[in-house]
Amino acid sequence: MRVLVVEDEPDLRRQVSRALMEAGYSVDEAPDGEEGQFLGDTEPYDVIVLDLGLPKIDGISVLSHWRQADRDMPVLILTARDSWNEKVGGFDAGADDYLTKPFHMEELLARVRALIRRSAGHATPVLECGPVELDTRTGKVTMDGTAVSLTAHELKVLSYFMHHQGRVVSQTELIEHIYDQDFDRDSNTIEVFIARLRKKLSSELIKTHRGRGYSMSPPGETV
């Protein structure tokens, strides 16, 4: 899962990015509204964390622009304390959730998880696919109730499939959602991650659709 953080205060931006990376997300950063708007226009994010008070273009304008352009990714806005009119303006512009500064990083992570889950149509934090369970709060994976140890990248790939079960995910889509902007992307590595996941979990769960991509669905269900 890939997150964009648009925040002009450098310390806060770094803290938020670091917390998200430690939680297993790929993170891009933008220090102002102009760069944030451009990245949100051109890259596919699973969530955007958007400060409202930003240089060059303010957050509400950026969000309104995305929604008018039919960019429908979940957006969590950061607002100043006691600024109820900012919250109202943010929701009217198309925000999905908000956090008031200062906030606890754990709360930001919980809200990001919930937004990603809900936008993929999942109501609970533990995702299931047949015998595999992924706890999105901890990143713990079990297979038939037994803990499975995955590398950070294997977990990113599995998490994307678990959130988007029952449909074909192209290699490009997968690459765009598991690597940040600066990562040296090599499509061969996707095949390596999938081979390892099949070995560690089950060879049945992730299917290859030749020329189209991969899908994950519970045993017995076809895509």
179: nearest Cα among 3, 6, 19: 3
Tell me which of 32, 34, 53, 120 binds Ca ion, using CB under 5 A.
53
Q: With CB under 5 A as the rule, give the number of residues binding Ca ion.
A: 3
35 contacts Ca ion (rule: CB under 5 A): no
Strands 47-51 and 2-6: parallel
156: nearest Cα among 20, 36, 43: 20
Give the contact letters, 183-202, x = binds to Ca ion (CB under 5 A), - = no.
--------------------
Cβ 107 to Ca ion, closest distance in Å?
18
Question: Which range of residues in 26-34, 43-51, 62-70, 85-93 is near Ca ion by CB under 5 A?
Answer: 43-51
The residue among 9 and 133 lying less far from Ca ion, judged by its C-beta, is 9
In degrees and rounded to multiples of 5, residue 197 shows phi and psi of: -65, -40
Question: Which range of residues in 2-10, 93-101, 152-160, 174-182 is near Ca ion by CB under 5 A?
Answer: 2-10
Strands 132-135 and 140-143: antiparallel
* Structure token pair of residue 118: 């809900």
d(CA 49, CA 36): 10
Cβ 101 to Ca ion, closest distance in Å?
9
Name residue 72's amino acid.
Answer: D
Residue with the closest Cβ to Ca ion?
53
Tell me which of 35, 46, 51, 86 binds Ca ion, using CB under 5 A.
51
Question: Which range of residues in 20-28, 47-55, 125-133, 155-163 is near Ca ion by CB under 5 A?
Answer: 47-55
d(CA 176, CA 173): 5
C-beta of residue 143 within 8 angstroms of C-beta of residue 130: no
8 contacts Ca ion (rule: CB under 5 A): yes
The residue among 100 and 202 lying less far from Ca ion, judged by its C-beta, is 100
Question: Which range of residues in 3-11, 32-40, 126-134, 151-159 is near Ca ion by CB under 5 A?
Answer: 3-11
Cβ 51 to Ca ion, closest distance in Å?
4
Question: Which range of residues in 1-9, 36-44, 90-98, 171-179 is near Ca ion by CB under 5 A?
Answer: 1-9
128 three-class SS: strand
C-beta of residue 206 within 8 angstroms of C-beta of residue 198: yes
d(CA 79, CA 42): 25
- Give me the residues that bind Ca ion (CB under 5 A), please: 8, 51, 53
